[in-house]
Amino acid sequence: MLANFKQTYNKLCSPAQVYLIITAIWLILTFLLNQFKEENTMCTLVYSFVWIFILNLLCKKSEKLAWAVFLLPIFLHIIILLFVICFLGQMTAEIIVDEEIEQYN
């Protein structure tokens, strides 16, 4: 069985292999942190295998395209997170300034 898995893994392109590794790490952490719920795990597995299939199909057209599809959500999450951090930082600064102004009035 392990040889079968290794053979299948080696047939996947690089973006699909990386996605499979990330999914495996996610599932292991889920088990270790006692967050295991059967329906969540099944959804994660189905979603992951669909994405792995799509990434592998895209690799046949262009591996660069597959990497772009793989990395785009990660970059978007980072950009959104940075905007949220900047927005919250600005709001916190405004609250502190408002409190200091009220304190001196």
Pick the range with the lowest mean pLDDT from 24-28, 37-41, 42-46, 64-68: 37-41
Mean pLDDT for all residues in the chain: 84
Q: What is the pLDDT of residue 9?
A: 87
From 50, 64, 79, select the one nearest 13 (Cα to Cα).
Answer: 64
If phi > 0 it is left, if psi is from -120 to 50 it is alpha, else beta; for residue 82 that is alpha
For residue 33, what pLDDT band results from cuts at 50, 70 and 90?
Answer: confident
For the chain, what are the domain ranges? 2-104
Average pLDDT on 88-96 reads 72
Cα separations in angstroms, 25 against 2, 86, 94: 18, 30, 41
Q: What is the pLDDT of residue 97?
A: 66
pTM: 0.68
